[in-house]
Amino acid sequence: MRLSIYLLAGISLLTSSCKKFLDVQPEQQVDASEAVTSAGSAETAVNGLYNLLGADAYYGSNFQALSYLSGGDIQWTGSQSAPAQIANRQLSADNGNVASSWAAIYRTVLSANYIIDAIPKLSDPLFTQVKKDQLTGEAYFVRALSYFDLARGWGGVQLILTPTRLPGDHAGIKRSSLEETYRQVLSDLNKAVELLPLTTNRNKATRKTAWALKARYFLYREQWDSADVYATKIIDDAASYQLLKPYNAFYANNAVATAESVFEIGYSVSFKNGHFNWWLPPALGGRREWAPNAQLVELLNDPAIGGNRNALIAQTAPPGNLWYGKLFYRTPTGTDPAYLIRIAELYLIRAEARTKNKQLTTALDDLNAIRDRAGIAPSNAATEDALLLAIENERRLEFAFEGDRWFNLVRTGRATAVLGVTDPNRLVFPIPADELLADKDLEPNPGY
């Protein structure tokens, strides 16, 4: 494992407003062995984990772009070769965007490992067991999410589960199977559930956040009963989580941490979300190098299909008349949240799980809750196949700019029919070439 062994200990520094695609936000880092020594430094270290999740190369930009650009609805309008490869689904192992995302996710894993190891050993009279459990549980949740993203992006990966203090600490570790990798995700989620408090916090992991990720996990694993159970836990908590009306209520007018969000990454002027830079046109302070394609624009603007989700897009003035995405718009502050789990996803998870379990009536109810919020007529899908297609189509618009489309089509086996991906090897991303050169125990994905 070639990755640097450092723990994020502070808030990321101010970044340039004119970043290259692969730039990552500079981090204040300290040696891991000196990072967690007290209750205060432990909390700082855990806060740093969320910054790692939100970094440019992870949910702040590049990892999301792997799904945006692979999913067929977002076009790349820039000139750089790495994102063009993604958009054309012609990835190579030396793709810089893939490499930066892989490194960012493992950097998050390595930091979580150290926190999980260090906190239970601390002796600090100010550090109660309840607080230790909470912070350790947050680290388990973040590690679970990180391995989940590695699994759905690259397949089975090397499982690094203990601190890495010296370069050779984890030499000789082979890639685990996809099944083993997902098993680790579930193990970490189970530990998170045991340790985390049953509270509501939209920016940090709680037991509810872990339940929501378990619902997504069980959907990917096609364990329909469990997906239903955990989605229901969140949906039934109507005092905490609600579908807001209209659709843009969860992000418009500088809204943050609304009842729509189960988990979002918060940003500030000193820790910016770079998404606006890629979505907004130059006249609004961005570069518009990601843009909705004509088909997506047509769907969002169709009152019977997109409904009030047309708020996601707008068009520049003539003579350009360029369509652009409006989910991320807070320029120059860059304080748009990154939306990782919304209550809408739990409705669609449960709808799919119940469809697979032949509970078509209640599945249709969940689907229509999403349609009602979008201001469109109820679906009358009456068969399993019709309902599954309707759920797929609803996901497409509901999460148009949230990195869902590619992973959803891959997990359902629909990437060939929808996107024309005929080579199964191309359903996962390549292991970065530099990582393969540096680690003889790391094997490439076939076909790259």
What is the tens place of the pLDDT at every residue in 148-164? 999 999 999 999 999 98
pLDDT digits (tens, 9 = 90+) for 95-123: 999 999 999 999 999 999 999 999 999 99
Q: Which residues of the chain have pLDDT under 70?
A: 1-34
Query: Is residue 37 a part of any domain in this protein?
Result: yes
**Residue 422, in any domain of the structure:** yes
Contact 413, 419 (CB under 8 A): no
Asked, for residue 282, whether it belongs to a domain, the answer is no
pLDDT at position 29? 39
pLDDT of residue 168: 83
The answer as to whether 350 is a domain residue is yes
Compute the distance between CA of residue 17 and CA of residue 271 in angstroms, rounded to an integer. 12
Count of structural domains within the chain: 1
Domain assignment of residue 63, given as a range: 7-255+340-438
CATH number for the domain including 415?
A: 1.25.40.390
**Does residue 260 lie within any of the structural domains?**
no
**How confident is the model at residue 170, as a pLDDT?**
87
The answer to whether residue 280 sits within a structural domain is no
Q: What pLDDT is attached to residue 1?
A: 55
User: Quick check: is 443 in a domain?
Assistant: no
Separation CA 346–CA 340 (nearest Å):
12
Residue of 55, 57, 40, 69 lying closest to 8 (CA atoms): 55
Closest CA to 105 of 67, 142, 66, 71: 142
Q: What is the pTM of this model?
A: 0.93
Q: Is residue 77 part of a domain?
A: yes
Q: Give the pLDDT confidence score for residue 166 in this predicted structure.
A: 84
